[in-house]
Chain A
Amino acid sequence: MADESGEIRSYTMNFGPQHPASHGVLRLVMEMEGETIMRIDPHIGLLHRGTEKLAESKPFNHSIGYMDRLDYVSMMCNEHAYVRAIEQLMGVEPPPRAQWIRTMFDEITRILNHLMWIGSNALDLGAMAVFLYAFREREELMDCYEAVSGTRMHATYYRPGGVYRDLPGKMIQYHESPWHKGKDLARMNQWREGSMLDFLDAFAEDFQHKVDEYEELLTDNRIWKQRTVDIGIVSPERAKALGFSGPMLRASGVEWDLRKTQPYAKYAEVDFDIPVGTRGDCYDRYLVRVNEMRQSALIIRQCVKWLRANPGPVMVNNYKVAPPKREDMKESMEALIHWFKLFSEGYSVPAGETYAAVEAPKGEFGCYLVSDGANKPFRVHLRAPSFPHLASIDELTRGHMLPDVVAMIGTYDLVFGEVDR
């Protein structure tokens, strides 16, 4: 704002919490000089639901569903961290098939997340079409979620000791309707004639071409490059010190991926590459994530191959952790007792503490779990990757223009369910 003498003074501007580019409920209080950012103070917590406190008041298994609602575009990865923490404390190891299923669904989740990110980031920066393309594929993967768990998003599919049930033998199909009929319907159901694994295999094979389509729209796009190249550069040292993880860290040139360095589930047995950036700007983060989608599709195909060849149980055969079969419960008294005990009181986890981290699509999602030997956790702390990422926004956007803040918010891949918890 100019005063009477014509001098420019800095002013404060509010951004959000109800703004299409704020990715939920982010409120930024920005001190600006003209269009230049002098200081940003993010106000978070508008979606704070006290997940960690709620988890303390419930038996362990009841909180798995809350994990879906943290980062609500990478649901199963959050479950994975929580479930692994419980398994570590109990000393339970899920059967190999369950671990392969988890590996596969972690990668499905990664693609789901990155599709959401590429769509919304491009939309923030003015490219409408990518969003439509990305959601076309998201729909297919959400159907996989639905096929195994019955819900499209909040699956509660991973359980301590394995996964809730085995993969369905038949993939869900589109039904005939006034909008889907004839040739159209046949095309939509083309991959869905066989099992879910057949569907996923066909999807993952074709997905590389789909990624080509997104890249066609963005990678060499002049406007896209103008908005992202050299915006929000982070040096590798600074990225480490600021607590970055996942693609945010790798785009700065740090070759660090928990799936490689501290492998869990079956990541040690699958073959994939870690894309790494060189400059650490928004454009590099874009390239890293796009390439991660390609790698995820490759991992899915490897998992499909193994899962097709190796049937087996998907849950530990330990009735202290996992319920017996429902049919057994009708016949056997032992099974009935276990069933009753497990669903009324739950299981008590031995006293101790552990930190289990997974490479979630946004970065390191960790679960610090303290148990005092009770059937409810004593303390759960969830380490959400977006929390330290967002904390750096002041440092990274100082001196940038206002539109660059939108580019930064997009590149952080923020979801407020996990920032606010």
Chain B
Amino acid sequence: MSQTMPQQLADLLRARFAGHLSNVTLAHGQATVEVTAAHLVEVCTALRDEADFHFEQLTDLCGIDFLGYGEGEIPESDTATSQGFGRGVTGTTAPGRFDWAGRQPHPQILRRFAAVVHLLSFAHNARLRIRCFAPEDALPVLPTLTSVWPSANWYEREAFDLFGIVFEGHPDLRRILTDYGFVGHPFRKDFPLIGNVEVRYDPEAKRVVYEPVTSVTPRVTVARVVREDSRWLTSQTEAADDWKDN
């Protein structure tokens, strides 16, 4: 078993797929590439078959919804009133109710849905992460990877079920984790955490009935705050020190 270091892998990828990869990044010792949907299958087949890469296993595939990325739930300090910050989160500012059209533009995130694939090469003891954004936000469609790695089958069904990403060419794209007859895609950020329907046994109808949720209300126990401060710099310096001296 040879060992391909992440930096080496990133260089190899840049050299081999120059035109097809929009972004090759290294962070936390892991290589990430972004591939466009049109080139996904072609790039993946090469990654599996070529001796430099030889990624024999698709370890993981998951969907991700970038709605609300980097947005907090507490107003910024300049918007605070004399009564202080608003703690409760209600209305359209609550989690799961972020608005894609009115989002803050983010340099890296141009599309809403993406599939993230984790590959593993046994021959080179290397891992690679591929991110592929779906070109359409309203109806995310991506090509299937089932023809490249059979293990993609259930992972793509899961991403379809939870995020509504359609994998074109998938042999059996059915829901997998949610209930029979479930409506909606629950892991989308605009799907409420409490759900849309609740079930109870109706003694008169003598069966289980589905009704709009009334027994619980959306509630936030700890507000989401995004902090960009120097604390991590401090902690990194502290971590670099010996723990005994701290």
Which A positions have Cβ atoms within 8 angstroms of B?
44-45, 48, 50, 52-54, 56-59, 62, 88-93, 95, 237, 240-243, 245, 254, 256, 261-262, 313, 316-318, 320-321, 344-348, 350-355, 357, 364, 366, 368, 370, 372-376, 378-379, 381, 383, 387-388, 391, 395, 420-421
Q: Are B116 and A368 in contact (CB under 8 A)?
A: yes
Q: Answer yes or no: B235 CB below 8 A from chain A CBs.
A: yes
Stretch at the interface among B13-21, B37-45, B147-155, B203-211: B147-155
Q: Given A243-B149, A320-B231, verify A345-B186 contact (CB < 8 Å).
A: no
Most interface-central of B58, B150, B176, B235 (chain A CB within 10 A): B235
Q: Answer yes or no: B32 CB below 8 A from chain A CBs.
A: yes
Distance in angstroms from B32 CB to nearest chain A CB is: 7
Q: In the A-B complex, list the 10 residue pairs whose CB atoms are closest, starting with the nearest.
A: A243-B151, A45-B177, A348-B227, A381-B62, A317-B246, A391-B154, A383-B60, A48-B177, A240-B56, A372-B70
- Write out the residue numbers on chain A whose beta carbons fall within 8 Å of the beta carbon of B187: 50, 52-53
CA distance A207 to B56 in the complex (A): 37
CA distance A249 to B151 in the complex (A): 14
Q: Are A59 and B222 in contact (CB under 8 A)?
A: yes
CA distance A62 to B27 in the complex (A): 26
User: Which of A321, A344, A364, A381 interacts with B235 by CB under 8 Å?
Assistant: A321
User: Which of A57, A355, A368, A421 interacts with B193 by CB under 8 Å?
Assistant: A57
Q: Are B59 and A383 in contact (CB under 8 A)?
A: yes
Q: Are A262 and B125 in contact (CB under 8 A)?
A: yes
Q: Given A45-B176, A90-B235, A320-B235, verify A352-B243 contact (CB < 8 Å).
A: no
Q: Answer yes or no: B30 CB below 8 A from chain A CBs.
A: yes
Q: How many residues of B contact A (CB 8 A)?
A: 56
Q: Are B232 and A391 in contact (CB under 8 A)?
A: no
Q: Answer yes or no: B226 CB below 8 A from chain A CBs.
A: yes
- Write out the residue numbers on chain A whose beta carbons fall within 8 Å of the beta carbon of B69: 372, 378
- Write out the residue numbers on chain A whose beta carbons fall within 8 Å of the beta carbon of B193: 53-54, 57
Distance in angstroms from A420 CB to nearest chain B CB is: 6
Give me 22 A-to-B residue pairs in the complex whose CB atoms sit less than 8 angstroms apart, sorted by A's number.
A44-B176, A45-B175, A45-B178, A53-B187, A53-B193, A56-B95, A57-B95, A57-B193, A88-B28, A89-B28, A90-B235, A91-B235, A91-B236, A93-B239, A243-B151, A316-B243, A318-B246, A348-B227, A370-B64, A373-B226, A374-B227, A381-B62
CA distance A58 to B224 in the complex (A): 8
Which B positions have Cβ atoms within 8 angstroms of A?
1, 27-28, 30, 32, 56-60, 62, 64-65, 69-70, 72, 95, 116, 118, 122, 125, 127, 129, 149-151, 153-155, 175-179, 186-187, 193, 220-229, 231-232, 234-236, 238-239, 243, 246
Q: Are B125 and A318 in contact (CB under 8 A)?
A: no
User: Which of A44, A59, A366 interacts with B118 by CB under 8 Å?
Assistant: A366
Q: Are B154 and A92 in contact (CB under 8 A)?
A: no
Most interface-central of A59, A92, A348, A383 (chain B CB within 10 A): A348
CA distance A243 to B175 in the complex (A): 20
Distance in angstroms from A2 CB to nearest chain B CB is: 31
- Write out the residue numbers on chain A whose beta carbons fall within 8 Å of the beta carbon of B122: 240, 254, 256
Q: Given A90-B232, A243-B59, verify A373-B227 contact (CB < 8 Å).
A: yes
Give 5 new A-B contacts, CB below 8 A, not counting A92-B235, A95-B243, A240-B122. Answer: A92-B239, A243-B59, A243-B149, A357-B59, A372-B69
Q: Given A45-B177, A320-B234, A368-B60, verify A375-B225 contact (CB < 8 Å).
A: yes
User: Which of A57, A366, A374, A381 interacts with B226 by CB under 8 Å?
Assistant: A374
CA distance A44 to B177 in the complex (A): 6
CA distance A90 to B151 in the complex (A): 31
Q: Are B224 and A242 in contact (CB under 8 A)?
A: no
Q: Are A373 and B70 in contact (CB under 8 A)?
A: yes
